[in-house]
Amino acid sequence: MNNQSPNYLTRQFETAWKFTGYHLDGLTTEECLWRPAPKGLHVHQSADGLWRAEWPDHEGYDIGPPSIAWLTWHICFWWSMTLNHSFGDGTLARENVIWPGSADAVRERITQLQAEWRAALEQLSDEDLLSTQRTRWPFKDRPFGDVVAWLNVELTKNASEIGYARFLYAVREGKESTQE
């Protein structure tokens, strides 16, 4: 966002990004593929070798806790969708977003999305943030500044979920690998 744009959105994003980096730093593929409970959202490698994410029918607590792989896929999903629908052709669909397949690859992809997002935001004016022109996903007919604020909150939420899952992984009983 340019110098005239509200700096609080940029500062909020920087805080969310630091928080995310903290929880992604040192993350292993084994941690990503570990399932904190027998039931919960996860990713699965399909016959074509790509990692596809499960999608919930609802958002109730009874679906169980997601794996870190699913949480990192979720970041890739909503960030890719937001970029594509706000600054691209708006054709990206959930089914086209895959999990990168390893902790290193997911860190690389999320860092790439962060750089793309930052570059896009730097081009925005105050008028752009007040306009609804770019607001096409995840909601419509709201100022684009609402999308920026939503993304900051979503990033923080997913980062904290990853952190919590990493705490659970660090104190788990048994050392079995649960890759599926």
Give the tens place of pLDDT for each residue, 111-122.
Answer: 999 999 999 999
In a domain, 179, yes or no: no
In a domain, 140, yes or no: yes
Confidence bin at 1 (pLDDT 50/70/90): low
Q: In sequence order, which ranges of 25-171 are alpha helices (DSSP H)?
A: 29-33, 68-87, 103-122, 126-130, 144-170
Tell me the DSSP string of 139-160. -SSS-HHHHHHHHHHHHHHHHH
What is the domain extent for residue 99?
7-31+74-170
- Give Dmax over CA atoms of the chain in angstroms: 55
Give the per-residue pLDDT at 52: 98
What is the CATH classification number for the domain harbouring 143? 1.20.120
What's the total number of domains in the chain?
Answer: 1
Confidence bin at 176 (pLDDT 50/70/90): low
In a domain, 21, yes or no: yes
**Residue-averaged pLDDT of the chain:** 94
Fill in the amino acid letter for 151. L
Distance from chain centroid for Cα 162: 10
- Counts for the chain of helices (H) and strands (E), in that order: 6, 2
